[in-house]
Amino acid sequence: MNRTKGDEEEYWNSSKFKAFTFDDEDDELSQLKESKRAVNSLRDFVDDDDDDDLERVSWSGEPVGSRTRPGSFQSLSDALSDTPAKSYAPELGRPKGEYRDYSNDWSPSDTVRRLRKGKVCSLERFRSLQDKLQLLEEAVSMHDGNVITAVLIFLKRTLSKEILFRELEVRQVALRHLIHFLKEIGDQKLLLDLFRFLDRTEELALSHYREHLNIQDPDKRKEFLKTCVGLPFSAEDSAHIQDHYMLLERQIIIEAIDRHLESAGQTEIFRKHPRKASILNMPLVTTLFYSCFYHYTEAEGTFSSPVNLKKTFKIPDKQYVLTALAARAKLRAWNDVDALFTTKNWLGYTKKRAPIGFHRVVEILHKNNAPVQILQEYVNLVEDVDTKLNLATKFKCHDVVIDTYRDLKDRQQLLAYRSKVDKGSAEEEKIDALLSSSQIRWKN
């Protein structure tokens, strides 16, 4: 997409573009890897949503090893105007009213110094390639990001892209400024052309992939993502792109079916719990939670089955259990919760097992207002005694506390806990019966 001079001025004056520094790596790849980690990580989804605070700062253009001076020009038009700026002064020997334009006498070095101070300057007098490159060299030597970018905008407008790319290839400082500038103003076409010229295939692929963000129609976005599969990404990133495509393909199918079921009003789960948002373009963690909430009992062969999602996207057991627990607890489906942690051995005996730890199970159940009887069952399954006592005390699971102190034969702690239960309650009576029992050999 070609940018007009007005677009470039908006870039210069807008506060929505971040400053470029050489300290920051040009890390589209690391961002993509982080995106994959975020999509595949389900550990924090049961907590409150965290809003991403996207810092928006004004463009300072300060590169690594560079310094931005206080006198930077305030608008692009101050530095680059199609009409050469005039600096008039009377000249001896000329009739009154006649003036000479001294801007034509400024060398590249003088021009860069004036730009650095935020003074009005015209770059139009630099017509030859040699003069333009000298101007760029002077800007780079000043270590001022504003000035470098101003000169690059001028070169972008007055040189063919082939010449511009060729010259910047051997000028890495200026090249990195241009890449950052093109990313910020969204000139994807020129950026792709530049990466193609530089034979930077992975960056080329990443820039192409980023274009999906501008496609709102789900089917068109899906088809675009399909074109990204097979591009020269790293092995890890290639897997992420493939997952992204398959996830959106699946979401489109689920959304169409569920929208129809919800509008028909004949499915109980949608009547009791209307959907708050579309599933389209949601991350994997949200899609899994949605499936565990609305489609928990569906056969594995369906796209909306949680088990199908788990197998297709290789979701680890711990993450799957955590997600399913949160979804079923939110629905207060306690039988499903019980089944989630019940396993059978080869002899047919059952036992409770929690890959995420029963202390975490208790926290999630309490967050979803589980009854005390349910909480007590899972608090009792916590192996560490101190953790068990802390949870039981915190969530008022009195029977667990009383039974634990009895098993520990800790009479003093049991006596102290007696003051924390209601007078005349069943718990107080239970404590009194234990304290008066002659069959318990107390340790204190």
Answer whether 40's CB lies under 8 Å from 81's CB: no
Query: Cα(34)–Cα(45) distance, rounded to whole angstroms?
Result: 16
**pLDDT 10s digits, 283-325:** 999 999 999 999 999 999 999 999 999 999 999 999 999 999 9
Q: How confident is the model at residue 105, as a pLDDT? A: 65
3-state secondary structure 102-115: HHHHCCHHHHHHHH
Answer whether 103's CB lies under 8 Å from 122's CB: yes
Beta strands in 307-407 (DSSP E): 342-344, 350-352
Query: Cα(40)–Cα(73) distance, rounded to whole angstroms?
Result: 45
pLDDT band at 142 (very low <50, low <70, confident <90, very high): confident
pLDDT band at 196 (very low <50, low <70, confident <90, very high): confident
**pLDDT 10s digits, 92-101:** 333 444 444 4
For 89, the enclosing helix (H) or strand (E) is: strand 88-90
pLDDT band at 348 (very low <50, low <70, confident <90, very high): confident
Quick check: 423 pLDDT over 90? Answer: yes
Confidence (pTM) = 0.63
- Single-letter amino acid, residue 221: R
Q: How confident is the model at residue 322, as a pLDDT? A: 96
Q: How confident is the model at residue 59, as a pLDDT? A: 26
State the chain's mean pLDDT as an integer: 80
3-state secondary structure 30-65: HHHHHHHHHHHCCCCCCCCCCCCCCCCCCCCCCCCC
Q: For strand 342-344 and strand 99-101, is the pairing parallel, antiparallel, or unpaired?
A: unpaired
Q: How confident is the model at residue 20, as a pLDDT? A: 41
Give the number of residues written for the chain.
Answer: 444
